[in-house]
Amino acid sequence: MDEQEVQRKRRDNEEQATERRARILGFPYLDTREFENNIDLTRGLLDISEMHQNYIIPLQDGGGEDHYQFMVTSQTPRSVIDNMRQEYSDKGERIDFFLISHSAYQVFMLRYDPPKTVHYDDIKISDEGDSETIASVSNTLNSVSTEKVFDFLLDQADKLGASDIHIENLRNEIRIRMRVDGILHPVANIDKNHYRVFMGELSSRANVSTASNKPQSGHMQTEIHRNGATHLLNIRVETIPTMYGQDAVLRLFNFDETLLKLDLLGLKEKEMKEISEIISHPRGLVLMVGPTGSGKSTTLYSIINALNTTERKIITLEDPIEYGITGISQIPINTNSGGSFAEGLRSVLRLDPDVVMVGEIRDADTAKTAIQASITGHLVLSSFHANSTSAAFSRMIDLIGTNPIFASSIRLIIAQRLVRKLSDSKEAYAPDEATMNYLRKELDGVEGIDWDNLVLYRPVPTEDNPFGYKGRTVIMEQLVVTEDIQSFIRGDIEDIHTEAIEKAAKKNGMLTLTQKGLLAAISGETSLEEVSRVI
């Protein structure tokens, strides 16, 4: 039975109940379904507020006959009906009342008093001290109905390109901040009396408890409609109890499968060639390293998407699944409830996959299982927490020890950061002597730099772009595992530390994250200050 049929049957039952009620109350019953949407409305007899308060609607005015008709419901106070009868009788006019169903009453009231279409101004991100903008947005959010406030926030965050919405309980208010291009911006302060209904709406959508005294994870989805197109927004919700209430962070994943492509990441030709060559092999281990929010997941998914053909069996183990990709078997691993990547990986290897992505290597068991899989005919992709590619090797050796099998399995480690891109309003300037000395020291041995004409760029804020940056770009350090690097992993070299591994990698042509960032600053993609902030 479809939804329309269900609604029709429900209305039938309500009208039958109303007809029985009319006989009990001594009113004539009126079934309005044939005319409730097209009858001319009678205006002026009652105020809209009276109609809402007393559940009464004029049906017909007196015209030349001094005969008035009103529709009432079972909720209309009897005193109101008696008073109106007396009032019209005193004037020598006739008045009749008809009992209608509550659904009929609501249909008429939607015509008498249609809901107003409210236009809320777009949110604008502000500077730290911009109290005027914050006050304006705060007033908007305090006026948006609770059930719509999240739709409004999510739509605006998506429009701004925000990656996170932070909802934070302060002593007397709720602070809303959004992370745009990696920077947190204050957006609004909501009245504290909205807290219960605000968190109630979030909990019902994300399936988290408002009464929990432990951190929780949830998930919600919404469709964003903009400029005639629709896209799906996946939201991870993380809550944690604080001194004044539950704080929440909503992590937004603007999912568009067509955008998960390596050539859309802005990689240089050399970087793209190295990645393509490594992942074209049927086996090996590829690690992505970097802090939270550095774009590791997007790069991993883009590699997966590049490998996604009908000839390959691809399985992912994720906690949680951030993007759903057609043609790939994606398995959620709930590590909070006792699940483990190592156990999941051992299980899926029995399914004979060609490519496996493990969300994160967090322990020695997962690391050893991933390494074992990568030398037995599987391409294994995973993420790992480390600051750089060299530091990742040091951490992995600390985790599992020097290991000849690891040496033969690991093929590539990628470390990356996201830096804000300068907008077109950027301004060129000549660096001072101290800056030039710093650049020469860090970029010693890097070819292709015109030191005599070197300029840097600074952001220039505009009315449309108050920060002078627009979007972000990837800064990527790629360490291809050569024989020299393998000697560290096998234990051939006793002095195993990050600096020694990085020195060997640079000797083989690797550019570090710092060097890549400085080259991006020299080329005008970003500013030196942004490179210093991120890297």
Q: What is the mean pLDDT of residues 451-480?
A: 90
Confidence label for 496 from pLDDT (cuts 50, 70 and 90): confident
Higher pLDDT: 62 or 182? It is 182
Query: Is the separation of the CB atoms in 359 and 382 below 8 Å?
Result: yes
Residue 533 confidence (pLDDT) above 90: yes
Q: In this predicted structure, what is the pLDDT of residue 311?
A: 92
The residue among 330, 332, 305 whose CA lies nearest residue 316 is: 330
Helix residue ranges per DSSP H, 182-246: 195-206
Q: Could you tell me where the beta strands, DSSP code E, fall in 391-468? A: 410-422, 427-429, 456-458
Listed range (100-104, 130-134, 149-153, 239-243) with the worst mean pLDDT: 130-134
Structure tokens at 248: 């929440």
Instruction: Give the per-residue pLDDT at 27.
Output: 94
**Confidence grade of residue 228 (pLDDT, cut at 50, 70, 90):** low
Q: What is the mean pLDDT of residues 246-257?
A: 82
Residue 439 has pLDDT above 90, yes or no: yes
Element of type H or E holding 315: strand 314-318
Read off the pLDDT of each residue in 143-169 and give the average, rounded to a whole number.
Answer: 83
Pairing mode, strands 183-191 and 173-180: antiparallel
Taking the C-alpha atoms of residue 408 and residue 374, their distance in angstroms, rounded to an integer, is 9
More reliable by pLDDT, 193 or 426 = 426
pLDDT value at residue 64? 59
136 has a pLDDT exceeding 90? no
Lowest mean pLDDT: which of 3-12, 82-91, 147-156, 182-191?
3-12
Buried-exposed string 77-116: b where 16+ CB fall within 10 A, e elsewhere? eeebbeebeeebeeeeeebebbbbbebbbeebeeeeeeee
Q: Which two tokens stand for residue 409?
A: 């399995």
Asked if residue 374 has pLDDT above 60, the reply is: yes
Residues sharing a CB contact under 8 Å with residue 75, sequence separation 6 or more, in sequence order: 55, 102
Residue whose C-alpha is closest to residue 88's, from 67, 71, 72: 67
Tens of pLDDT, residues 89-134 = 998 888 999 999 988 998 898 888 886 555 556 666 665 545 666 7
- N-to-C CA span, the chain: 59
- pLDDT: is 130 or 223 the higher one? 223
Q: What is the pLDDT of residues 342-372, one digit of tens each?
A: 999 999 999 999 999 999 999 999 999 999 9
* Cα radius of gyration (the chain): 33
Q: Residue 246: is its pLDDT beyond 80?
A: yes
